[in-house]
Amino acid sequence: MNYQPKPASHFDPDTIVLTKGSFQTTQQRNFIQAICNVYPKAQVIERFDISHNRFELGSSDPLELHYKGKNTLLFGVHKSALRFSDEDGNTCPNYWHFSPYGFCPYDCQYCYLAGTPGVKYSPTVKIFVNIDEILDQIASAASKLSEPTAFYLGKLQDGLALDSLSGYSRTMIPFFAQQKLARLILLTKSANVNNLLDMNHQGHTILSWSLNPGEISDWFESNVPTPDERIGAMQRCADAGYPLRAVIMPIIPVEGWQNIYTCFLEKLLGSVPLDRITLGQICSYSGALQITERKLGKDNPISKMLEKGKSKDGRVRFPIKTRIEVYKYLIAKIRKLQPQLQIGLCMEEADTFKALDMENSIGCCNCVL
């Protein structure tokens, strides 16, 4: 691939780290060197003796570590980048997901990824240079499929935030276009879709945006494209013929939420043609919520609403009564605006689906076809 990297918006690393296996072939060296040239002021550290998750950022304070990680771009090789998820204790289907990147440069205060073990101990922003090997692994898994199946990019990272640096979409989209049964689902908050628009995608790449109303984004999301910018990117991708989805998550029922989310849904559904919308609320880990509280203070609206104790899957959520009230209201609004639109719920429990009379929708969500 001959791609000329461009700066990634909302990302200006002060440190670049090269780890084991990332600088071996001429192609890898050219790739990394071209990205280093985009950030001439960044300090480049060579640590070919350690793997990608072993770089020490030199802090024991979780918040300091978190921000040091978000200012560090690390190149590595990920040998097990393709995985089949292993959710237990909620209604999520298991599915293929893959990681050409690790973590994310954006700064959402509610970010649950910050509390996952991989990120908690290694919160650098990662680009894995073995993209060809990762796609070979996907091709091998795809050769055993008997029906169209999704490979999801966006579970352990933002799927597009670093694309202007790596240009990976320009390899992945043609790869999936040629696949008989494998499909790409990519979740992002990025508004930079320039690499995507001229690709011959064959409808095999489904693009999904994570969104919230402007009022919620202003309060709980920093250093991230605005919802209007994201909707603008969706419109451009709709014009380029991509199938589109939206994930409204985490819905945060602050004062006046009914009006805030109604206006937002009217705007979103009136602006872009969606194939599916998935709703979700906070479902996080205590480690991530500690970082949320460091950023927003202990008395923040999310913490105040959270249920004491963990759910069966180890996550912390709002009380089920609140969740059902919020879903009922928003689902009614969506049905009124677009009666045929598929609606999914993300990371929910069986009792929630039952209370909403949506048991038939279990397993219809963003991560699967």
Q: Which stretch binds ligand SF4 (CB under 6 A): 15-23, 104-112, 175-183, 318-326?
A: 104-112
Task: Give 313's Cβ-side CA count (13 Å radius).
Answer: 17
Take residue 28 and report the two structure tokens written for it: 């890898």
- Angle between the 257-271 and 227-239 helix axes, to the nearest 10 degrees? 20
Judged by beta carbon, residue 104 or residue 260, the one nearer ligand SF4 is 104
User: Using CB under 6 A, which of 16, 18, 82, 111 touches ligand SF4?
Assistant: 111
Give the total of residues touching ligand SF4 (CB under 6 A).
Answer: 8
- Find the shortest distance in angstroms from Cβ 63 to ligand SF4: 14
Contact 107, 96 (CB under 8 A): no
Judged by beta carbon, residue 107 or residue 133, the one nearer ligand SF4 is 107
Q: What are the CB-based long-range contacts (under 8 Å, 24+) for 360-366? A: 362/91, 363/91, 363/93, 364/276, 365/92, 365/93, 365/278, 366/185, 366/187, 366/208, 366/245, 366/247, 366/276, 366/278
- Find the shortest distance in angstroms from Cβ 113 to ligand SF4: 4
Determine if 104 is a binding residue for ligand SF4 (CB under 6 A): yes
The helix/strand/coil state of 73 is strand
Take residue 246 and report the two structure tokens written for it: 């939206």
DSSP state of 54: -
Determine if 106 is a binding residue for ligand SF4 (CB under 6 A): yes
Determine if 323 is a binding residue for ligand SF4 (CB under 6 A): no
User: Using CB under 6 A, which of 42, 113, 247, 316 touches ligand SF4?
Assistant: 113
Determine if 108 is a binding residue for ligand SF4 (CB under 6 A): yes
User: Using CB under 6 A, which of 153, 158, 166, 272 touches ligand SF4?
Assistant: 158
Q: Rounded distance, CA 38 to CA 276, Å?
A: 37
Q: Which stretch binds ligand SF4 (CB under 6 A): 16-24, 108-116, 123-131, 254-262?
A: 108-116
Determine if 189 is a binding residue for ligand SF4 (CB under 6 A): yes
Q: Which stretch binds ligand SF4 (CB under 6 A): 28-36, 56-64, 101-109, 302-310?
A: 101-109
Q: Rounded distance, CA 111 to CA 109, Å?
A: 6
Q: Which stretch binds ligand SF4 (CB under 6 A): 4-12, 99-107, 132-140, 322-330?
A: 99-107
- Find the shortest distance in angstroms from Cβ 250 to ligand SF4: 9
Judged by beta carbon, residue 158 or residue 215, the one nearer ligand SF4 is 158
Judged by beta carbon, residue 109 or residue 361, the one nearer ligand SF4 is 109
Q: Which amino acid is at 169?
A: S
- Whose CA is closest to 172, among 146, 196, 143? 196
Q: Exposure of 327 by Cβ count < 10 A (0-12 exposed, 13-18 middle, 19+ buried)?
A: buried
Residue numbers at the binding site for ligand SF4 (CB under 6 A): 104, 106-108, 111, 113, 158, 189
